[in-house]
């Protein structure tokens, strides 16, 4: 799946661009399900651990961000991330947006990594340089590699919006089969999930909520439910 490959590439880039030694933003751990990073206030030295859960609706919806920090600047920055759409839902764009918001809030200069892209970033390897004919050969090989990378990047850049469009289109078709009241139930579940994570008052896992929403969608679309063979009630207590 192209979408998953793009996510893995973005994770690899973020881990290289923002390692544990980075003075401002450090990626502590990252998988296709969750990312944990640490923001360091360079002026005061305070550290804020921030989490992002990547749900099954990604990238048609952004990751769910939350932090145990009670700093209003952190909370406000995370709330901005929940209002994005399109390519801005992608993890790489989300992390960059988070960094921009935090640097603005704490009046800090943006790090140079904010302007890098996966295909332009090359971590230092510390290997010795070559000279003479070897250098020319390496340059030719590098040019060929860059051309291949550019082609791959163009293909992936084209695939990203297609994946989003297909996912959104599929979800829209499914939602057309549901009654308005059932859609409202699903939207409330999604809104409550985001609210709880932003407040740090989560009582269950993201996967459990996603599973519940998927099961409810299947029930609401089933012929048996539509024919009145059974009913479903949600207990909010």
Q: Supply the pLDDT for residue 176.
A: 59
Q: Supply the pLDDT for residue 104.
A: 94
Q: Supply the pLDDT for residue 189.
A: 73
Domain ranges of the chain: 2-118+158-226
**pLDDT, tens digit (0-9, with 9 covering 90-100), for 141-164:** 444 444 444 444 444 444 444 444
Q: Supply the pLDDT for residue 141.
A: 46
- The list of the chain residues with pLDDT below 70 reads 1, 119-178, 190-191, 193-207, 234-237
Fold of 2-118+158-226: Ubiquitin Conjugating Enzyme (3.10.110)
Q: Supply the pLDDT for residue 125.
A: 39
| 92: Cβ contacts below 8 Å, ≥ 6 apart | 10, 13, 14, 118
Q: Whole-structure pTM over 0.85, yes or no?
A: no
SS3 36: strand
Distant-in-sequence contacts of 145-152, Cβ < 8 A, 24+ apart: 149/119, 150/119
The rounded distance, in Å, linking the Cα atoms of 233 and 14 is: 43
Q: Supply the pLDDT for residue 199.
A: 63
Nearest-Å Rg of the Cα atoms of the chain is 22
Q: Supply the pLDDT for residue 136.
A: 41
Contact indicator for 27, 47 with CB cutoff of 8 Å: no
Q: Supply the pLDDT for residue 207.
A: 62
DSSP H helices in the chain: 2-17, 72-81, 91-105, 132-176, 180-199, 206-221, 223-226
């Amino acid at each position: 799946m192209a979408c998953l490959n793009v996510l893995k590439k973005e994770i690899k880039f973020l881990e290289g661009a923002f390692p544990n030694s980075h003075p401002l933003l450090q990626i502590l751990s990252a998988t296709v399900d969750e990312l944990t990073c640490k923001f360091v206030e360079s002026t005061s030295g305070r550290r804020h651990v921030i989490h992002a859960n990547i749900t099954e609706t990604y990238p048609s919806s952004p990751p769910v961000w939350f932090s145990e920090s009670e700093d209003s600047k952190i909370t406000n920055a995370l709330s901005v991330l929940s209002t994005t759409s399109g390519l801005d839902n992608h993890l790489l764009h989300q992390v960059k947006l988070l960094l921009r918001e935090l640097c603005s809030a704490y009046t800090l200069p943006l790090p140079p990594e904010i302007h890098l892209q996966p295909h332009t970033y090359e971590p230092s390897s510390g290997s010795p340089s070559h000279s003479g004919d070897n250098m020319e050969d390496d340059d030719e090989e590098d040019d060929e590699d860059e051309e291949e990378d550019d082609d791959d990047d163009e293909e992936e850049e084209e695939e990203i919006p297609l994946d989003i469009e297909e996912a959104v289109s599929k979800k829209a078709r499914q939602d057309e089969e549901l009654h308005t009241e059932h859609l409202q139930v699903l939207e409330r579940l999604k809104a409550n999930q985001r609210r709880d994570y932003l407040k740090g008052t989560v009582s269950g896992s993201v996967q459990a909520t996603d599973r519940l929403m998927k099961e409810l969608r299947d029930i609401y679309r089933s012929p048996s439910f539509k024919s009145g063979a059974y009913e479903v009630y949600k207990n909010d207590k």
